[in-house]
Amino acid sequence: MSDDPELPDASPRDARLAAMRLLTRREHSCKELKQKLQHKGFNAAQVEKISNDLQREGLLSDARFAESYLRARSSKGYGPVRIQLELKQRGASEDIVSATVMEDDAQWFELARRVREKRFGRALPATANERLKQQRFLQYRGFNQQHLKFALSDDAELPC
């Protein structure tokens, strides 16, 4: 391959190999894969053809990417609001995002509580300032008001 950023001598095979190398590391959204390939210097027509071929072959899937991304981010303590926003930024369609991330799922309530306890301990906030600090932290992590209410209460019953 040439050092030229346009890769004038790059073949479709080179573009496909580059795409496959990226996909062997982790799932990518179609938008992400296209951006990375274009950043590597492959022309837009090659990138479009390769992404269409990979989607048709089932090797590139925004739905599979969204599920993988959801698992990875929720395991790191991020909530549904933030994950939805990040998925949209990475090119997942509104339909895929809404089908993948369901905010009313009971897992989010428990996750919000675990995230709060990991950061602040099991004891509930004693002052209004402590409560606001914990609420801001959970909101930043991507939990909605219902999740915050549950995480900051001693209620064992899930509100579902």
Phi, psi angles (nearest 5°) of residue 34: -60, -45
CA distances from 67 to 21, 39, 90, 111 (A): 20, 25, 13, 17
**Dist. CA 99–CA 47, nearest whole Å:** 27
Residue 137 structure tokens: 């932290």
User: Which whole number is the average pLDDT over 43-61?
Assistant: 95
pLDDT tens-digit series, residues 74-108 = 999 999 999 999 999 999 999 999 999 998 789 99
Domains of the chain: 12-56 (1.10.10), 76-160 (no CATH)
User: What is the gyration radius of the CA atoms in the chain, in angstroms?
Assistant: 21
**Dist. CA 41–CA 36, nearest whole Å:** 9
Closest CA to 85 of 64, 99, 101, 71: 101
Instruction: Tell me which residue has tokens 């996750």.
Output: 111
Cβ-contact 70, 100 below 8 angstroms: yes
pLDDT tens-digit series, residues 109-132 = 999 999 999 999 999 999 999 999
pLDDT at residue 10 in the model = 72
pLDDT at residue 28 in the model = 97
